[in-house]
Structure formats: structure tokens, C-alpha cells
Amino acid sequence: MSAGLTERRQAILKLVIQEFVETACPVASETLVRKYRLNVSPATVRNELAALEELGYLTHLHTSAGRVPTDAGYRFFVENLMERTALPLAEQRTIRHQFYQVRGELDQWIQLAGAVLARTTQNASLVTPPRSAEPLRFRSLELIAIHDTMALAVLVFHGGIVKQQTVTLDAVRSAEELRRAAARLSDYLADQTLSGIEETLARPPEQQTLMLSDFERGLVEMLVRAMQTFEEQSREQIHSDGLIEMLSQPEFIPALVREDAERAVERLRRALEILKSGRGLGTLIPQVLASDGVQVIIGGENSADEMREYSVVLARYGVENAIAGVLGVIGPTRMAYPRSISTVRYISSLMSDLLAELYNVESRISEGEALEE
């Protein structure tokens, strides 16, 4: 047929996608004409739809069932047709207020970000904790007595990263003993990375600048172990939320999708595995960490077969040259991309602001409008 993506065809493509995203039903030529009051006949639309199909932006499930967008169709929509709106101000305000309620607690920010993303997009969300690209660099150790024989070790790393770990002691230790041991070790190992610490410890006795007591040696071992597991964990950790929200999408309701019903469950299992373990996301997270702006991955565009039915909208958040994480939304390819994108953009910039505040100077403990712009 005739080549070229004329204006009118683009307009029709846009309508098809909007309609399909809204209703989840294949869209027919007549529906378009009626619902959007087009000044042409269904037959004309049909011709255009056929052209769009030939161009690869739409498909047919079978002869005679409306058109459905392909991945390429969504891609074109996201790239060229979509209006880039920001999240409504009222909604922004509500969200900001919720974050304000839990100020000072990174874990809660992460959880809240996930919840908000899920709720406003009606899809599942994922958030990775912010992390420095650098290896962990030890800064100081504090030991806080909790019991006679139990203490809390608080490991502080450069970049404001903190890890706590309970330690059972080999004997009753006074607070003073704890303080001294912590100070000695903080001094001894300050500013070193995990491998640096291991090197220091491996030096022959005559090169050691400090003789460690058995107690202190035990603490260092704990420290090393904690750093190891911490680095491993934070590399992979993904928080997710919004399963229930995503489950309310018609794709997961067998009766609505006229379809195997088996596939609905299979689809769900896949989503669960992606959300739980990140399997299927492949190298996406590092990629997003290395790029700016909101990234949209539609269907099987970028990764394994497992993701073929899902789209992902991700963005980096964090503080330049210090710390960064990824957050975003995952759901069926039939997704309200404009809304997802604007939500992800807003939440990521909000999280970035919050983190920046933690890292900067102007904020204060004494309440107030810390989070207002």
C-alpha cells in the first residue's frame, strides 16, 4: 500500500492506543468514528488501520477483531505522540506531604515511593535502595551497649551509609570498654574499603601499627562479614509493591481477556518472579543507573522472553557523584504511559531532592517547610 506515516495515521494510531489502554478491548474502526466523532467513515478508518498494520504499529488477533497496538506502536506513541504532562499539582502536594511525614528515614522513603508509584499508576512498582558506585569505605564504628553481653554495632560508611548489626559479646564489657574498642578500631581502619581492611589485617605482625585484643579481633571479623554481605545485598536488593494494584488490571482477569486463563496465571507468576528477584530485568538496572531521564522499555524490546508481556518505566534517582538508585513501574504493555512516566519522573525527582537535602547544608532539624519547594 501507500507508504508513509501521514498526520492522519498518527492521529488514528494515537486514538487506537488511548482507546485500547482505557478499555483493554481491541478497537474497531466504527468505535473510533463514533466515540471520537471523526469526520470520516469507518471504511476510511479501516483503510488507515490496515496501513498502520502494514507499517507494523498495529496487529490483528484474528480477522475481524479490532486492532491492538504492537510494541512498535507503543514505542512510537511514547516517542512522538504522547503529551508530556506533569503530575497534577494537587497530587504532587499530597505525595510530598506523605514523604514529609516520614522524613529522616530512608527505608520509609523507599517503601513510600513504592506504594505511591503503585497506587497512582495502578501497577506494580520497584525501587532499589540508593547506593554509591564506589565500594563501601569504612568511616567509623560505634558500639552501643544493649545488654550485659549484647551490643549494637553501628557501622558508618562514607556517603552517609549506615548499617547496624547486633553483636553478642564474649564477656561482660563496660560501656567504657566498648567505647574504647570502637574508637581504636575506627581509628585503625578509617577510610578503608573492604579489601583494604582485609589487607591491613593480613599484614605480618611486625608491620601492624596496632595490637588487637581478641575482643577487637572478633569485632573486626564481624565488621568484615557485615561489609561483605552488605555489598552483596545492596547490589541486588529490590523493593517492590503494588501486586494487588497490578492484579486489578484486566490482563490478570481471565474472563475479560478471552484467553487461556492458564496464561493469566503464568503471566502473574512471571511478574512475581521479576518483582521478587529481579530476574528478567537483566542488565536494565545498571543501564538505567547510567542514564538520565525516564527510561521506557516496552514488551520484549530489551530483554528476555519473560518480559515480553510487560513494560517497564524506570528512572534513576539520587545525588550526583554520590549515591543513586532506580525506581519505577512495571505492568502490562497496555499501560497508561503518560501517567506512568510523569509519576516516575516526579517521584524520582522528589527522592533525589530528599536525598540531596540529607547531603546538603540548608536543612534543619526543627520542623518547618523542609520539603516544600
Cell of 223: 565488621
CB of 244 to a copy of itself, least distance (A): 5
Q: How far is the CB of 13 from a copy of itself (least distance, A)?
A: 32
For the chain, state the CA radius of gyration: 27
Nearest to 323 by CA among 354, 278, 295, 294: 354
Decide which of a copy of itself, DNA, none touches 262; Cβ closer than 5 to 8 Å per partner kind. Answer: a copy of itself
Which one, 44 or 234, has the nearer CB to DNA?
44
Measured CA distances, 82 to 52, 79, 85, 301 (Å): 17, 7, 9, 19
- Contacting a copy of itself (CB under 8 A), which of 133, 265, 290, 304? 265
Q: Which does 211 bind (CB under 5 to 8 A by kind): DNA, a copy of itself, none?
A: none
Q: Pick what 65 binds: a copy of itself, DNA, none; C-beta below 5 to 8 Å, kind-dependent.
A: DNA
Positions in 43-62 near DNA (CB under 7 A): 43-44, 46-47, 49-50, 53, 60, 62
- The grid cell for 297 is 522499555
| Buried/exposed code over 312-346 (b: 16+ C-beta within 10 A; e: otherwise) | bbbbbbbbeebbbbbbbbbbbbbbbbbbbbbbbbb
Please state, in angstroms and rounded to a whole number, the distance separating the CA atoms of residues 373 and 367. 15
Residues 73-102 that bind a copy of itself (CB under 8 A): 102
Site string for DNA, 12-31 (x = CB under 7 A): ---------------xxxxx
Residue type, 338: P
**Window 188 to 217, contacts with a copy of itself (CB under 8 A):** 214-215
> How is the beta sheet containing 138-147 ordered, strand by strand?
138-147, 150-157, 161-168
Residue 349 binding result from DNA, a copy of itself, none, given CB thresholds of 5 to 8 Å by partner type: none
Q: Binding to a copy of itself (CB under 8 A): which residues in 232-251?
A: 243-244, 247-248
Q: Please give the Cα distance from 117 to 126 (Å, whole number).
A: 8
Residue 366 is a binding residue for a copy of itself (CB under 8 A) = yes
Residues lying near DNA in the complex (CB under 7 A): 2, 27-31, 39-44, 46-47, 49-50, 53, 60, 62-67, 258
Contacts with a copy of itself, residue ranges (CB under 8 A): 102, 104-106, 139-140, 142, 144, 146-150, 152, 154, 156, 160, 162, 164-170, 214-215, 218-219, 221-222, 229, 243-244, 247-248, 252-255, 261-262, 264-265, 268-269, 272-273, 276, 357-361, 363-367, 370
